[in-house]
């Protein structure tokens, strides 16, 4: 296992010449993958390895806290992605995972904003609320409203 970043760099997209009449926006260049450690840390292999271990441990702690928050109240997924973001400052694999996640969230957002999908979601929500209200009405009709505590006057 190599502790150094693999040095891969994503190429930039060459813009289309303006004389073609193409009005579409050009894709932005992807950021360079690899370590974002300060230059003086990258100079020394031992210092850089120590830096990477520290970043990994801090990111791991944040991810573990996020996993603990999943069943408990709190923003579990947000904290997990924060931990991956910490890892992404140093590790290419985390940068790729974060990039993939951002792309999927963007696609899901665009799909959710589609008018047909929004209409379907609203209809399904209303149907679900009607079913819950009907079940609650049947329960109250059959068993009545019983308070979970006993207050004696």
pLDDT digits over 110-149, tens only?
888 888 888 998 999 999 999 999 999 999 988 888 776 7
Give the C-alpha separation, 4 to 48, whole Å: 8
pLDDT in tens, 59-102: 999 999 999 999 988 898 899 999 999 998 888 898 899 899 88
- CA separation (Å) from 73 to 65, 76, 129? 12, 8, 24
pLDDT at 15: 47
pLDDT category at 153 given cuts 50, 70, 90 is low
pLDDT at 67: 94
> What pLDDT does residue 30 have?
62
Neighbours of 107 (CB within 10 A): 10
pTM equals 0.54
What one-character DSSP code corresponds to residue 26? Answer: P
Among 110, 107, 104, 88, which Cα is nearest to 31's?
88
Helices (DSSP H) in the chain: which residue ranges?
39-43, 45-69, 76-88, 92-112, 115-143
Per the CB < 8 A criterion, the answer to whether 6 and 34 are in contact is yes
Whether the pLDDT of residue 8 is over 70: the answer is no
4 CB-near residues (< 8 Å, 6+ apart)? 35, 45, 48
Q: At what angle do helices 76-88 and 45-69 cross, to 10 degrees?
A: 170
pLDDT digits (tens, 9 = 90+) for 29-64: 566 777 777 777 778 888 888 888 999 999 999 999
Confidence of residue 11 (pLDDT cuts 50, 70, 90): very low
């Amino acid at each position: 296992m190599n502790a150094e970043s693999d040095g891969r760099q994503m190429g930039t997209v060459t813009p289309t010449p303006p004389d073609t009449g193409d009005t579409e926006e050009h894709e932005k260049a992807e950021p360079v993958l690899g370590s974002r450690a300060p230059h003086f840390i990258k100079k020394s292999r031992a210092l850089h390895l120590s830096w990477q271990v520290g970043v990994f441990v801090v990111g791991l702690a944040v991810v573990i806290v996020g996993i603990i928050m999943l069943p408990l109240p709190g923003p579990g997924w947000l904290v997990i992605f924060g931990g991956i973001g910490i890892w992404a400052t140093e590790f290419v694999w985390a940068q790729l995972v974060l990039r993939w996640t951002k792309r999927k969230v963007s696609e899901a957002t665009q799909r959710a904003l589609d008018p047909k999908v929004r209409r379907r979601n609203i209809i399904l929500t209303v149907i679900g609320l009607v079913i819950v209200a009907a079940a609650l009405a049947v329960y109250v009709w059959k068993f009545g409203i019983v308070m979970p505590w006993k207050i004696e006057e």
